[in-house]
Structure formats: structure tokens, C-alpha cells
């Protein structure tokens, strides 16, 4: 009897261990990369006075997602349904008809305390389920930031990566004739809104954000000699960094914001230094007689990538944050400079000069997998979005007739010009605003 | 020592010269050729239109029906039971000439069941015995599972159009997503696709994987209804699909 029982158990175990009933296996290893069709109707406003805010927020969200190249917001004129209540499930069939795969419904309502309340839901049109639902309270004047935060939340839910819409860009605004060019420090939202000048008419270059996006380091000619300067966005105060007798330039904050790596030029020799902002003590990291410059920290702060011509031509090198283990990582054709480590850590972006052109390229930190993302008459000076997915850079028009800021996806797709008020160069992308 | 006469020395010299000249001439003849138009026959192959026909439904041989008698609870046969002794009833029948009489057809009594009463269809249906459905228990070639490559190919060519794979992620090689899909006979999605356990656990901890699973799920839905041969519904009513972005340009 016991034997019979054990046979039964064995048979049952065999039956349970059979694979899934589906015998047909389909391997899909090709795709059709397309932006996600998404419908974003104007946010509902129960009070007529809030209707404009509802329309404006939806408009900014549509523009944000479209700009990323990963979404295709559908024309509101094509909508069959009108959303009147965001607390009931939409009629998904009517959104499928217009090919929407995602649907965003939202509502704005002014609160008795004077704050604006914004609710939104992201729906999976085919799965007929809610993917996300969030609520924000803010001062009515902050509606643009709320719109960017809504965009970031949608972007993250769909792509798995944090968004980058609630960020700012600091850049050099250029004006005037070529011989009397005025280069001022300017700042704007990621979508080009709210531009403003931070400095007056003196020459500044290479601005960089600190990790809290409250401080900017840049090179200034305000005293006639190039000096790395710190600018506090909250107070508007600026301060010369260190008391060096000679030129300092090319600053970059460490990921924790406590250090600034920069280049110090002495008697024609440039080397990389690090200054601790807490003690104002500086440490020299490179001692090569060649030009070592453009340092950039890895996101864990343990390594620094920089450019050097110690090997005969301008190439990329990586070293530990204490200056040890300096080794070359770029060996391709042409010259490579202005490296920037991705916030994601997987790539280093740089300017590649080859074949009479300047382009933006990326490679892995070990030097493998080099890919060209843009190629122009003069594309240079990349800066990463905080999610490591998108890059901005300066594009100089052929013949040096003005400069513009452009952006490109890390895949090389979605190359487009960034809206700026006039000529602009040297962009630096802030982290997500806290 | 006397020198050889001049003629004796001249004879071999002439032979050498002649031999060299002939060899050089031969070499020149081999290397030099005169251009001449060679008219090769133009081999124009006629274009024959060909229709590609899938014969997998013919070659996918169904199993030979193996009748399995129900096992009765009878004791095993004894040797005596195997060879029973012949009985008188088992004697061969005798053949006799039949009398030349035409058999009179018996008047058949109409059966009640064959009457069609439009008002009593329910009753007719109740009398109908259910048709026996063959259940296929034999796996392998006869199970018609080995010849589904054409179905997999059809499904792949449909799904890849709908699949916008994740791009730009740091580790695309990790983003392989496996779903089990259930379809209705009309090719529409019958129930929500089921994420394989290994994909589901990865998606719960990795946001990139969660996004990849979402993209795969949207592809399954947006491709619905699937255009598949209806007569082979049993083969495609549910299937497993692997979304693999490794070979894609990132």
C-alpha cells in the first residue's frame, strides 16, 4: 500500500513538473522603434476660473513628452471622448480607436487656502488599467513646475528611468558682433521657459551645476584673468574659488558637492587639481608636463576622467580620485576631449575631432563601444541630463556664424535644437530640482 | 694540347641559340594573344512565377489512433483460457444455394425519431448522442507540435511591427521578457497575457525590466486581432512569446 502511494506521488509530481501548456514558442528579436502614442486631454477644472491652468498644464506635459522623442502626444482634435470626471474609468475603446496606448486624465482645483491642487491618472488603454495616480499641491504661480513633475512621473512609469523635465539649463548667452562678443551667464528651464541672465557683460565660460542645483561654478574673466568662480543662485553672490596666482579653469563638482576638480595653469603647464570646498584645501592630481584638463567625476566619486595630450595628441584618460592609476581609454582616430561621465555611470560623452569635423560621441569607461551621436561643423562640449539618457551640446554654425544649443538621445536619435533666446553655447544640465 | 677545330665548337653553339630562340618564341606565343570578340551565348533564364505554399498542415502528420481497451478488473488469463477447446458451434458454416426467389422488401415502419417536428427541436437534440471526440494523448511528431514553425513565423512577423522595444537602457541584454498569450478563435486577446515568473520577479525589482515588460504587453495588445489559420486554432490558442532586445541597435 505504501509502495502504491509512493508511485501515485511520483506520478503527480511528474504531472506538475510538466512545462506550461503552451507548446508554441515565438521569439521576437526585431522591433519597430516608435514613440508611444499617448492622449493628454486638457486637465478638468470644476471651477471655470481654473480652466486656463488645466489647459496650460496639459499643454506643457504634451510638449515635454513630445520633446523626449519617446512619446507621440496625439492631437486633441482627434479625441472622440471628452474627459469630464477623472474619478471614473475612461471608455477605453474610444481611445483605442484613435490609436492611443496611454491616456492621461487630470484635474486642477483651487483650494480654500489658495493653493492649487493637481491630480492626474495615467491609464493603460489596452490593458484597461490605471498605471499611476498622483496628487500635487502648489502655489498657482508654480503651475509650470507641476506640469514638469507630471511629465517626469509619466516618463518614469513608461520608460523605467527618472525624467529630466523639472530641471534647468545654465548656459552662455552670446550677443554682439564677433569682435565684441558679449558672453553672459544665463539660466532657463529645460524647455526654454523663464530665461534670465545671471551676470552682466563680462566674459564667462564653462558653467557647471553643483548636485543640489543651487550653485554654479564657472570660469570668469571679471578680474581680467581667468578664474574659477562660484555663484550662489539663491543669494546671487559670486566668489572667486581659491587664491591661485595663475589661471584656473574647467571646474566640475564632485557628485557629493564637496569637491571641485579644476585645471590650474602654471608656467604653461596645465594640471588637474581638486579643491575641498569645506576646507578650501587643494590637492594636485596630475604631474605630467603635458596639458591635463577637463576633469569629470564618475557618479560614485571614485574616479575622474580627463583629457591630456601626454601621448602626443588630445585623448581621454581615467584616474582614481586621488590621482593614482592614470590610464588612457581612447585610442580611436582623431582627437578626443571635454569628457563628461554619465550620471548613470555607464558611458562617457566627449567631443571627437576627426576628419575636419567636431562631433559628440560616447564610449564605455573602459574605452569600448565608441559611438558617434552627432556630427557637425563644430559640435562640442556635451552635458548629460540627470538621468543619463539625453545630451545637450554646443553647435557652432559653419564659418563661426553664431552658436546654438542642441540635444540628442543617447541612442543617437531625436537630434533637435533647444530653444534659447538668441545665440547660446556651453550648456550645463542641472540635476532634478529638489 | 691541341685546340679543337673551330667548327666543332661552333656546332653546339648554334644548337643552343636555336633552342633558346624557339623557347622564347614559344613563351611569347603563350603570353601574347590577339583580342577577339567572343560571343558567348546569352543564357536568359525565363522567370517562372512561383507561389509559396505552406504544406505544414499536410506534413504535420497526426498520430495514428491507438485504441486502448479499458483494463478490466479480471484475473490474468490462465494458459487454459488462451486456447479454448473448439466447440461444435464453432464449426464452419455450410454453403447452400439459395432458392431463386426475390426477397420481398418488408414495409418499413417509419421511425418516430426521424420525424422532424419544428416545434420539438429540443426533444430531437436531447435524443442526439454526443459525438465522440478523439483525445490525443500521444506526444511527439503525431501531436502536431513539431510543425508549428510557420505559426511562430507568422506571429513573429505580426508582433515585431507592434513592439517598440526599450532603447538606451544601460543593460539591454537583461531585458528579455517572456509572456504567455491567450487568444480567442477570432485572434483577439482572450485574457491578460501572463508574465513568466522569471520575468515578473525581475520586473518587480528593476524599473528598466518593468518598462520592458510594459512595452511587451502593449505589443501583444496592439497586435490584436492576430491573423492566423482558424483551422489550427488548437495550436495557437495560447503561446509563449519571448521579447529579446539584445540584437537591436541600441
In terms of domains, do A173 and A40 share one?
no
Q: How far apart are CA A358 and CA A380, in angstroms?
A: 6
Smallest CA–CA distance from B205 into chain A, residue:
A160
Give pLDDT, residue B135: 42
Q: How far apart are CA A284 and CA B248, in angstroms?
A: 44
| One pLDDT digit (tens) per residue for chain B, 250 residues | 434 444 444 455 778 888 888 888 887 777 765 555 555 555 555 566 655 555 555 555 444 444 444 444 444 444 344 334 444 343 344 444 444 444 444 444 444 444 555 555 555 555 554 444 444 444 444 444 556 788 999 999 999 999 999 888 888 888 999 999 999 999 999 999 999 999 999 999 999 999 999 999 999 999 999 999 999 999 999 999 999 998 876 5
**CB-based contact A160 B210, cutoff 8 Å:** yes
- The residue to which cell 488462451 is assigned: B82
What is the number of alpha carbons within 13 Å of residue A251 lying toward its C-beta? Answer: 32
Query: Which residues from chain B sit within 8 angstroms of residue A131, using beta carbons?
Result: 214
Q: Is A150 helix (H, G, I), strand (E, B) or coil?
A: helix
Distance of CA B104 to the CA centre of its chain: 58
Give pLDDT, residue B20: 85
Contact A116, A53 (CB under 8 A): yes
Query: Which residues from chain B sit within 8 angstroms of residue A31, using beta carbons?
Result: 160, 163-165, 245, 248
Domain boundary among A132, A159, A186: A159
Contact B187, B227 (CB under 8 A): yes
In terms of domains, do A193 and A304 share one?
yes
**CB-based contact B161 A411, cutoff 8 Å:** no
Which residues does A57 contact at the CB level (< 8 Å), separation at least 6?
A43, A106, A108, A118, A143, A146, A147, A150
Which residues does A308 contact at the CB level (< 8 Å), separation at least 6?
A286, A288, A290, A291, A292, A293, A314, A315, A317
Domain extent, residue A409, equals 168-429
Strand A348-354 and strand A335-341: pairing?
antiparallel
**CB-based contact B235 A24, cutoff 8 Å:** yes
Q: How far apart are CA A76 and CA A95, in angstroms?
A: 11
Give pLDDT, residue A385: 97
In terms of domains, do A176 and A147 share one?
no
Domain boundary among A127, A159, A191: A159
Under DSSP, the state recorded for B114 is G
Contact A382, A360 (CB under 8 A): yes
Question: What does the pLDDT look like over A169-178, one tens digit per residue?
Answer: 999 998 888 7
E strand residue ranges, A210-356:
215-220, 227-232, 238-240, 248-253, 259-266, 269-276, 281-284, 292-297, 303-308, 315-320, 327-328, 335-341, 348-354
- Report if pTM > 0.80: no
Q: How far apart are CA B153 and CA B151, in angstroms?
A: 5
Query: Which residues from chain A sit within 8 angstroms of residue B214, using beta carbons?
Result: 124, 131, 158
Q: How large a percentage of chain A has pLDDT more than 90?
A: 76
In terms of domains, do A132 and A280 share one?
no
**Among candidate residues A183, A223, A181, A185, the one with its CA nearest the CA of residue A203:** A183
Question: What does the pLDDT look like over A359-416, one tens digit per residue?
Answer: 999 999 999 999 999 988 899 999 999 999 999 999 998 876 789 999 999 999 999 9
Q: Which helix (H) or strand (E) holds A1?
A: none
User: Residue A383, class by beta-carbon neighbours within 10 Å (0-12 exposed, 13-18 middle, 19+ buried)?
Assistant: buried
Cell of A200: 552682466
**CB-based contact B207 A32, cutoff 8 Å:** no
Cell of A279: 576646507
Closest residue to A31, CB basis, from B155, B208, B248? B248
Query: Which residues from chain B sit within 8 angstroms of residue A368, using beta carbons?
Result: none
**CB-based contact B170 A160, cutoff 8 Å:** no
Q: A199-203, A236-240, B211-215, B236-240: which has the minimum mean pLDDT?
A: A199-203
Does a structural domain hold residue A20?
no
Smallest CA–CA distance from B180 into chain A, residue:
A22
Can you give the length of chain B in residues? 250
Does a structural domain hold residue A412?
yes
Contact A216, A236 (CB under 8 A): no
Q: How far apart are CA A187 and CA A24, in angstroms?
A: 57
Query: Which residues from chain A sit within 8 angstroms of residue B173, using beta carbons?
Result: none
The total of structural domains in chain A comes to: 2
Q: Please give the angle made by the CA atoms of A53, A54 and A56, to the nearest 5 degrees.
A: 60
Query: Which residues from chain A sit within 8 angstroms of residue B166, using beta carbons?
Result: 159-160
Give pLDDT, residue A125: 94
The alpha carbons of chain A give a radius of gyration, in whole angstroms, of: 26
Domain boundary among A126, A159, A192: A159
Strand A348-354 and strand A357-363: pairing?
antiparallel
Give chain B's end-to-end CA distance (angstroms, integer). 95
In order of A4, A5, A13, A247, B71, the CA distances from A9 in angstroms are 9, 6, 6, 82, 22
Give pLDDT, residue A238: 86
Mind telling me how many Å the CA of A414 is from chain B's nearest CA? 12
- Dihedral through CA B4, CA B5, CA B9, CA B10, nearest 10? 170
Strand A327-328 and strand A315-320: pairing?
antiparallel
- The residue to which cell 578664474 is assigned: A227
Q: Band of the pLDDT at A434, cuts 50, 70, 90?
A: confident
Cell of A254: 564632485
Contact A1, A9 (CB under 8 A): no
Cis check for the bond before B225: say yes or no (omega within 30 of 0). Answer: yes
CB pairs under 8 A between A and B: 121
Query: Which residues from chain A sit within 8 angstroms of residue B221, using beta carbons?
Result: 126-127
Question: What does the pLDDT look like over A109-152, one tens digit per residue?
Answer: 999 999 999 999 999 999 899 999 999 999 999 999 999 999 99
Buried b (16+ CB within 10 A) or exposed e, A187-202: bbbbbbeebeebbeee
Mind telling me how many Å the CA of A58 is from chain B's nearest CA? 23
Give pLDDT, residue A370: 95
**CB-based contact A31 B170, cutoff 8 Å:** no
Q: How far apart are CA A270 and CA A420, in angstroms?
A: 33
Closest residue to B152, CB basis, from A24, A101, A158? A24
Strand A24-28 and strand B238-243: pairing?
parallel
Give pLDDT, residue A247: 85
Which residues does B216 contact at the CB level (< 8 Å), separation at least 6?
B163, B177, B179, B241, B243
Does a structural domain hold residue A119?
yes
Does a structural domain hold residue A22?
no
Q: Is A263 helix (H, G, I), strand (E, B) or coil?
A: strand
Tell me the domain boundaries of chain B. 159-243
Distance of CA B61 to the CA centre of its chain: 11
Phi, psi (5° rounding) for residue A315? Answer: -140, 170
In terms of domains, do A269 and A326 share one?
yes
pLDDT tops 80 at residue A107 = yes
Q: Which helix (H) or strand (E) holds A129?
A: strand A129-138
Q: A219-223, A267-271, A390-394, B121-125: which has the minimum mean pLDDT?
A: B121-125
In terms of domains, do A141 and A204 share one?
no
Q: Which residues of A touch B (CB under 8 A)?
A: 20-36, 101, 124, 126-127, 131, 156, 158-161, 344-346, 388-389, 409-411, 413
In terms of domains, do A382 and A294 share one?
yes
Q: Band of the pLDDT at A203, cuts 50, 70, 90?
A: confident
Query: Which residues from chain A sit within 8 angstroms of residue B152, using beta carbons?
Result: 24-27
Amino acid at each position: 500500500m505504501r509502495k502504491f502511494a509512493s508511485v501515485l506521488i511520483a506520478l503527480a509530481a511528474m504531472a506538475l513538473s510538466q512545462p506550461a501548456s503552451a507548446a508554441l514558442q515565438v521569439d521576437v528579436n526585431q522591433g519597430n522603434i516608435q514613440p508611444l502614442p499617448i492622449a493628454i486631454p486638457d486637465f478638468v477644472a470644476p471651477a471655470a476660473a481654473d480652466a486656463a491652468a488645466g489647459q496650460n498644464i496639459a499643454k506643457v506635459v504634451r510638449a515635454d513628452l513630445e520633446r523626449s522623442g519617446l512619446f507621440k502626444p496625439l492631437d486633441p482634435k482627434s479625441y472622440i471622448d471628452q474627459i469630464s470626471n477623472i474619478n471614473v474609468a475612461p471608455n477605453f475603446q474610444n481611445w483605442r480607436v484613435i490609436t492611443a496606448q496611454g491616456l492621461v486624465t487630470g484635474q486642477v482645483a483651487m483650494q480654500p487656502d489658495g493653493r492649487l491642487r493637481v491630480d492626474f491618472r495615467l491609464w493603460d488603454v489596452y490593458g484597461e488599467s490605471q498605471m499611476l495616480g498622483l496628487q500635487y499641491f502648489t502655489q498657482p504661480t508654480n503651475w509650470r513646475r507641476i506640469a514638469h513633475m507630471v511629465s517626469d512621473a509619466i516618463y518614469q512609469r513608461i520608460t523605467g528611468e527618472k525624467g529630466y523635465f523639472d530641471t534647468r539649463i545654465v548656459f552662455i548667452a552670446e550677443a554682439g558682433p564677433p569682435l565684441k562678443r558679449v558672453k553672459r551667464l544665463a539660466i532657463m528651464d529645460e524647455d526654454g521657459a523663464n530665461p534670465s541672465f545671471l551676470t552682466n557683460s563680462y566674459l564667462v565660460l564653462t558653467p557647471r551645476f553643483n548636485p543640489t542645483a543651487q550653485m554654479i561654478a564657472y570660469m570668469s574673466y571679471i578680474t581680467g584673468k581667468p578664474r574659477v568662480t562660484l555663484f550662489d543662485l539663491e543669494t546671487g553672490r559670486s566668489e572667486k574659488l581659491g587664491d591661485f596666482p595663475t589661471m584656473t579653469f574647467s571646474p566640475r563638482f564632485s557628485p557629493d558637492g564637496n569637491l571641485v576638480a579644476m585645471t590650474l595653469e602654471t608656467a604653461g603647464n596645465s594640471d588637474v587639481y581638486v579643491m575641498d570646498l569645506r576646507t578650501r584645501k587643494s590637492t594636485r592630481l596630475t604631474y605630467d608636463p603635458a596639458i591635463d584638463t577637463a576633469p569629470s567625476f564618475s557618479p560614485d566619486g571614485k574616479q575622474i576622467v580627463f583629457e591630456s595630450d601626454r601621448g602626443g595628441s588630445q585623448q581621454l584618460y581615467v584616474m582614481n580620485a586621488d590621482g593614482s592609476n592614470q590610464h588612457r581609454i581612447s585610442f580611436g582616430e582623431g582627437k578626443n576631449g571635454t569628457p563628461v561621465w554619465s550620471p548613470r555611470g555607464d558611458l562617457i560623452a566627449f567631443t571627437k575631432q576627426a576628419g575636419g569635423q567636431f562631433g559628440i560621441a560616447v564610449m564605455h569607461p573602459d574605452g569600448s563601444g565608441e559611438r558617434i551621436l552627432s556630427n557637425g561643423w563644430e559640435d562640442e562640449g556635451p552635458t548629460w541630463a540627470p538621468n543619463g539618457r539625453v545630451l545637450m551640446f554646443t553647435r557652432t554654425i559653419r564659418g563661426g556664424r553664431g552658436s546654438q544649443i542642441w540635444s540628442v538621445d543617447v541612442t543617437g536619435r531625436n537630434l533637435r535644437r533647444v530653444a534659447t533666446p538668441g545665440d547660446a553655447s556651453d550648456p550645463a544640465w542641472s540635476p532634478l530640482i529638489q | 694540347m691541341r685546340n679543337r677545330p673551330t667548327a666543332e665548337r661552333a656546332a653546339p653553339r648554334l644548337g643552343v641559340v636555336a633552342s633558346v630562340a624557339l623557347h622564347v618564341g614559344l613563351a611569347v606565343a603563350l603570353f601574347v594573344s590577339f583580342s577577339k570578340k567572343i560571343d558567348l551565348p546569352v543564357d536568359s533564364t525565363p522567370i517562372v512565377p512561383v507561389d509559396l505554399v505552406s504544406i505544414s498542415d499536410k506534413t504535420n502528420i497526426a498520430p495514428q489512433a491507438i485504441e486502448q481497451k479499458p483494463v478490466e478488473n479480471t484475473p490474468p488469463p490462465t494458459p487454459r483460457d488462451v486456447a479454448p477447446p473448439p466447440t461444435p458451434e464453432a464449426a464452419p458454416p455450410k454453403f447452400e444455394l439459395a432458392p431463386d426467389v426475390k426477397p420481398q422488401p418488408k414495409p418499413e415502419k417509419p421511425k418516430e425519431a426521424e420525424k422532424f417536428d419544428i416545434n420539438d427541436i429540443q426533444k430531437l437534440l436531447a435524443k442526439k448522442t454526443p459525438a465522440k471526440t478523439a483525445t490525443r494523448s500521444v506526444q511527439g511528431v503525431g501531436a502536431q507540435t513539431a510543425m508549428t514553425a510557420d505559426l511562430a513565423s507568422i506571429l513573429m512577423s505580426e508582433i515585431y511591427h507592434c513592439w517598440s522595444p526599450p532603447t538606451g537602457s544601460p543593460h539591454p541584454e537583461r531585458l528579455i521578457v517572456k509572456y504567455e498569450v491567450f487568444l480567442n478563435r477570432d485572434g483577439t486577446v482572450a485574457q491578460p497575457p501572463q508574465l513568466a515568473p522569471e520575468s515578473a520577479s525581475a520586473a518587480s525589482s528593476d524599473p528598466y525590466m518593468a518598462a520592458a515588460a510594459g512595452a511587451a504587453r502593449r505589443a501583444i495588445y496592439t497586435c490584436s486581432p492576430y491573423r492566423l489559420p482558424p483551422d489550427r486554432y488548437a495550436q495557437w490558442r495560447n503561446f509563449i512569446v519571448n521579447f529579446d532586445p539584445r540584437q537591436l541597435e541600441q
